[in-house]
Amino acid sequence: MRRQIPLLITFVTGMLMIVAYFIPHHPFGGLRELFNQWAIVIAAFALILGVLNLIKVNAVKIQRKRPGWGYSAVLLIAFTVTTITGLFWGMDRVHRRARRARRDWCW
């Protein structure tokens, strides 16, 4: 079942996408947009998993003092500072300041 259920979901989703491509009428017409929205939500959760993995891999490296653990420490410190500044001051402000400084190409 571990293989069959994902295969079934993939098959049904693929068939629905094909049908939606040829039939614009409701409810098929809006399926593509709906699935795109779901994909954005899934990607957001995947990003959380990715960030957790990043923290775990580097934290373990520091804890066990593996070669190059200093780089991991720099990474985690930079990550924490970026997250805190992003959470409290927001990205809009950062982008506005960058535009004022005419350094848009940095991003």
Partner 1 sequence: MSHRVIRNLVGLFPDFGIVLFFSLFLLSNVSGQEAETSLNHPPKPPTEVSAVDTPNDAGGSITLTWTKSADDGAGENDVVGYEIFRSPRGEADYQAIATVALSKTEYVDASAEDGRFYTYRVAAKDGEFSTPSGETLPVVASAQWFNRSRINMLISAVMLSFLIIWFIEKAKKGKNLFVRPLAGLEAIEEGIGRATEMGKPVLYIPGNNDMDDIQTIASMAILSRVARTVAEYDTPLLVPSKMPVAFTMAQEVVEQAYIEAGRPDAYNPDNVRFITMAQFGYAAAVNGIMLRQRPGTVFFLGAFYAESLIMAETGASIGAIQIAGTAMPSQLPFFVVACDYTLIGEELFAASAYLSGEPRLLGSLKGQDWGKAVIMALIILGVLFESFGVHFLTNWLVSH
Applying CB under 8 A, the residues found at the interface with partner 1 are 18, 21-26, 29-30, 39, 42-43, 46-47, 49-51, 53-54, 56-57, 60, 67-68, 71
Is 30 or 90 the residue whose CB approaches partner 1 more closely? 30
Q: What per-residue string of b and e applies to 10-49 under the rule 16 or more CB within 10 Å gives b?
A: eeeeeeeeeebeeeeeeeeeebeeeeeeeeeeeeeeeeee
Is 39 or 84 the residue whose CB approaches partner 1 more closely? 39
Closest separation between CB of residue 78 and partner 1, Å? 10
